[in-house]
Amino acid sequence: MSSILIIEDDQSIRQGLARFLAGEGHSVESLSSGMEGVQRATEGGLDVVILDLGLPDIDGGQALKMIRSISAVPVIVATARDEEGEIVRILRDGADDYVVKPFSGAQLQARIEAIMRRVESGTIRGPMIVGELTVDVEQRVATLDGTPLDLTRKEFDFLSYLADRVGVVVSKRELLAEVWRQPYGGADKTVDVHLSVLRRKLGESAAEPHYLQTVHGVGIKLVKPDS
């Protein structure tokens, strides 16, 4: 049994989903406004949130970002918008899955089951937050103060490896082996080049580091600014 929160302003849809999911053995709560839903999500104790985008008080996309900023609870977005660009935006904003209206209760149940399998296997990871920097490994998106960073694949891998080890000094040898899958040697300039570019994208420099600190002769660590 999962603890599920439905955030949906349409009363008939909300009540119908609640009845169906309760019949499947879930513990179900339902709310009609985005802000109430965000507040409930901050309290914890939920396994899955079903979030409608067309809410009366705030846009569902905004509610998604607010939930994702404070909670790693899996979110399934229910939307009538089926354009590819909109779906990509939803996923990049932190949704774990989506269903396009109209959808059946059985389809939603299958998606909940799939998410719970991923949670139980440990393959879902919440965003890593360091100061104003957020690194979402699931969606492969990093944001700084809410603004997405334009990172290459290796830049993201580099940043996420450090974010997973906040405050820990990581050697170039380890970075080359784990991020670049290369043996340690003369190619250590690869790390230096990527570090320089990553610093620029984070709005810092080697002379004035904020997030990326070099420990000379040892390696690099990611820290919360002013920590």
pTM: 0.57
**Pairwise CA distance, residues 87 & 68, whole Å:** 17
| pLDDT at residue 32 tops 80 | yes
Q: What is the pLDDT of residues 35-92, one digit of tens each?
A: 999 999 888 788 899 999 889 898 888 899 888 877 778 899 988 877 777 787 888 7
The alpha carbons of the chain give a radius of gyration, in whole angstroms, of 20
Mean pLDDT of all residues in 187-195: 81
Per-residue model confidence (pLDDT) at position 189: 80
Question: What does the alpha-carbon distance between residue 54 and residue 48 come to, in Å, rounded to a whole number?
Answer: 19
pLDDT in tens, 138-165: 778 899 998 999 998 889 989 999 998 8
Going from the C-alpha of 152 to that of each of 23, 166, 194, 201, the distances in angstroms are 46, 21, 10, 11
Contact 180, 190 (CB under 8 A): yes
Q: Spell out the domains of the chain, with CATH numbers in brackets.
A: 3-121 (3.40.50.2300), 128-222 (1.10.10.10)
Q: Strand, helix or coil at 128? A: strand
Quote the percentage of the chain above a pLDDT of 70.
94
The band of 125, judged by pLDDT with boundaries at 50, 70 and 90, is low
pLDDT tier for residue 204 given thresholds of 50, 70 and 90: very high
Q: For 97-125, give one letter per residue: b (16+ CB within 10 A) or e.
A: bbbeeeeeeeebeebbeebeebbeeeebe
